[in-house]
Every structure is written in structure tokens, then in C-alpha cells.
Amino acid sequence: MRMHEQFSPMRAAIDIGSNTIHIVVARSTSNDLDIVEDQVALVRIGESVNATGEISQEKAEATIDLLKEYKALAEKHGADPIFVVATEAIRQARNSAAFVQQVQRETGLTVELISGTAEAVLTFYGATYEVSKGPNPPAQVGVMDLGGGSLELVTARNMQITWRVSIPIGSGWLHDRYLSSNPPSYDELVVADAFLQAYFQGLRVKHHPPVLIVTGGSANSLLHLVHRAFKLEENQTQLTQRDLVRCQGLLSSLPAEEIAQRFDQPLERARILLAGALIIQAVMSRLHINEIHVSSHGIREGVLLAYERYGDRWLEVVSKSAADLNHQQQSEAPVPIIPEEQPFARSGRRMLLERTQKMVEWLKEVQKHEDIEAVHKMRVASRRLRAALDAYESCCDPKLFKKVYRQVKKTADTLGAARDTDVMLLDLQAQLEQAKSEEQAGIRWIIKRLETFRQQKQDELDSFLESLDEGTLKKQVESLIPEGVKSNGKG
């Protein structure tokens, strides 16, 4: 411990991200930190937000349990205050306000929901404080914070932020959307890679920093993986394109459980690591950079530094500098997943493939017969695919379109027959609980008939899904919109 830090106050900062919840306890000054605790747990709140738009009660409870533990840890070190900030996943959730209240009620901790720009500013402080206090800080630097639900990219000159962009793509998001098999299949990898290439091609990069610091759980886990699997020296914190290609090979050939066990990674992290590697590689290619510096510091350290610099008004000051940055850039709007100017036919090729992938990835779940919600989710995915097919019909090869459309409709109808019966059964079962005794016999009679009927529908569904050739369907969808298409005459 450095002398001056013995008397520095102890503080704690917790950040709730879409993948992880992280705490740092440190003796803090305005330009340095002596970290005494640094812990992280993977809760993946973003998973429930991606699936339903809300933080599930299960995730809320897991978060609260962890926050209670973190609070006790911070108090053990005499940390005061204990800051809690929440980022992308919480901001996006429809029930964020209720969640924040629940946390306050059950833990006594106040959660600050921070904007994307404030998050970027704080992360920049945290990720660069070590290089900025060094003898030769780089004149130009970029910081990328890769989270579960989004990615923040910031560039700076003389440690002053000059540009930032928020991208709604994170490792958890990419995994849930494209890479959900374990390990991800070749087809999934191709689609995910095609998506990232198309997306980043459309990203206008204003500055190309020669040095890029990458922070966030995925980057740090990849560094750990490279240390363990490819024997990189322990004090090395740089990763090259080549290292990431090697990670990709490893992560796409072994199941997450094996990655977790062999390379000492939490299972939940192992699942989304390939997505993280793909995103980092795509950004490196876009910035023409061959090497990144991985930092374990980020938003939490940024919060502690900001508090020491600006006191109780730290969030106000950070938000103001974030607003100034927005004003300078005239926009905080995230870069859309489909660039608005992208030609319709091109966005269609990607969109149709993506929607098809989304639908077929429910196949195994439906066939397991474990959760009736899987039938519902696959049906919804088939409807979304139909909506995309309807939208892009005018660009499609008419014959092939008919074939694919018929197949998707048949899928939706077969799932629909089973799902509609499930809904009736759920409804009747709820009524049965509240019905008077003389009414119950009638409800039981109809439930029994419906259950027999539902079994028939399940048999039909099983045999239909058995015959559904996933590979052929994907190939057909890939060829739906021919290159250089003008119009098929329908439009």
C-alpha cells in the first residue's frame, strides 16, 4: 500500500450490468485507487430482459441476494458510501422502476440508473486511470466497454473524450440471438459473423485510435482463457487478432461445460465467451487494429474516481459532461441494428435468415416436451418470420417464396393448434380452482376431453417437427432474395 493511501477513505462501488454484478472496494483518491476487494458474479439479468422485456422475479431475487452479500463485504471494510449503478439491461427493462424500488426496500441501497453516455464517461475514467498516471500516456486512445447487452466505444485525445458511440450489441445479446447451441453450430457462426460484418461495415468511425483498451467481463475472461489455454505470460494484458482466432476455434469446438471446467471459467460466462470474441474481432477489423489492451477496470472504478473528484455532485457533473458530449455529437441515439440506409434487399437477406434461425432454435426445446412455453415461443418466432417474409416478398424469388411461406405457415398452424389448446386448459384449470363445488364436475369433464385432444395435437406436432428439415429450410431462405434483385413483379 502506498503511504498516502493509508489515510485515503474506503469506498465501494457496485455495477449491475446485463451479464454481471461487480463490486470494487478501494481506498480512493482523485487519480488513484488501492483496490482491496474486486468481485464479480454472473447473474445475466439481460437474459430475462431479452426474452420478455422485463427483469424476471427470479433474476430480481438473485440480484438482491447478491447485493446483500456485497453490502456486507463493503461494510466489513468500513466502506462509505456504497454506490450502486445500473446499466443497459436495467435501463431497457419495462419494470426498471419497480426493480429499483424493490432493491431499495430490501437492501437499503440506492440504485442510480445511468445513461449510456454517463456510463461511457465513467468507464473511460476507470479504464484509463492506470495509463493516464504513467510516464507516457498515449496522446490518442480508444476505450471499448463490451457488456452483455451493449458496447460502448469512446475515443479521446489527451485524455479528453472526443467521440463516443453506443452500439446495442453485447456478448449476451449476440449469444441469445445467434449462438444458442452448445457449442454453437457452424451455421450459427456463419450467420453471427455475417451479421457482425454487415453491421460494422455500416458504422461510421470518426477516429481510428492507435491504442484500444477493452474492458468488460468478456474481454477479461478471454484474456484469462488465453493465459490458461495458450500459455500467454501472466503479466501480459495484450491480445492479438491471432489470439482471438485461436479462442474462436477452441470455443466453437467444445461445449461450455468443458470450457468452464478446463479453463476455470464460470459456466454462464463460458457460454457467451465466443460471442464476445467475435464482437471484439469485428471491432478490431473495423478499426484496423491488430492488438488490444485488456483492462479489468471500468465503470466501478470510474464511479469511485468521479466521487473523489467531484464529491456528492459526481453524478451531476458526469451527466453534464456526458450531455456536453452528446451536444457536441448531436446524438446519443445508438447505431441501429439495421443501418437505415442499407439497401432493402440486403437487410432482407440478413433479416430472413436471422428470423429463421430464431424459429428453428426452439425446435429441440419443443421436442423435449418439458415446457409448454417453448411451443408458444416457437409459434411467436414463426409469426415474426412470417411478418418478415410478408415485408420482403417483393424482393423474393416467387416460386421459392411460395415454398418457404407454405412451410412456415404450416409450422405456425401446427404449433398454434397445440398452443391454443394449452391456453384453454390453463384457463380452465384456473377457473376450476375458484369454481363452486357443483360447477367443478363440468369443468373437469371438459378439461379431460381437452387433454385427450391436446395429446392428439402433440403427436401431430411431433411428427411434423420430425419431418421439418432445418438445413433445407435455411438454405432456401438464404436463396430467397437473389443478388442484384430488381423486383419480382409483386411489388
Q: Which residues are near other proteins by CB under 8 A? A: 333, 336-348, 351, 355, 383-384, 386-388, 390-391, 393-395, 405, 417, 420, 423-424, 427, 431, 435-436, 438-446, 449, 452-453, 456, 481, 485-487, 490-491
Given a contact cutoff of 8 angstroms between Cβ atoms, the answer to whether 409 and 386 are in contact is yes
Q: Which is nearer to other proteins, 166 or 248 (CB)?
A: 166
Name the β-bridge partners of 81.
none
Cis peptide before 138 (omega within 30 of 0): no
Q: Which is nearer to other proteins, 311 or 491 (CB)?
A: 491
Minimum gap (Å) between residue 351 Cβ and other proteins: 7
Q: Write the CA distances from 425 to 223, 308, 411, integer angstroms.
A: 51, 59, 22
Q: Which is nearer to other proteins, 310 or 453 (CB)?
A: 453
Minimum gap (Å) between residue 26 Cβ and other proteins: 38
Minimum gap (Å) between residue 342 Cβ and other proteins: 5
Given a contact cutoff of 8 angstroms between Cβ atoms, the answer to whether 327 and 164 are in contact is no
Minimum gap (Å) between residue 338 Cβ and other proteins: 4
Separation CA 477–CA 87 (nearest Å): 36
Minimum gap (Å) between residue 45 Cβ and other proteins: 20
Minimum gap (Å) between residue 441 Cβ and other proteins: 5
Separation CA 188–CA 193 (nearest Å): 8
Q: Which is nearer to other proteins, 369 or 490 (CB)?
A: 490
Q: Which is nearer to other proteins, 159 or 338 (CB)?
A: 338
| All residues at 6 or more sequence positions from 122 whose CB lies less than 8 Å from its CB, including other chains | 85, 114, 298, 299, 302, 303, 306, 318
108: left (phi over 0), alpha (psi -120 to 50) or beta: left
Q: Which is nearer to other proteins, 46 or 209 (CB)?
A: 46
Separation CA 189–CA 192 (nearest Å): 5
- The H or E element spanning position 118 is helix 116-132
Minimum gap (Å) between residue 138 Cβ and other proteins: 34
Q: Which is nearer to other proteins, 341 or 433 (CB)?
A: 341
- Please work out, in degrees rounded to the nearest 5, the angle formed at the alpha carbon of residue 350 by the alpha carbons of 278 and 473: 105
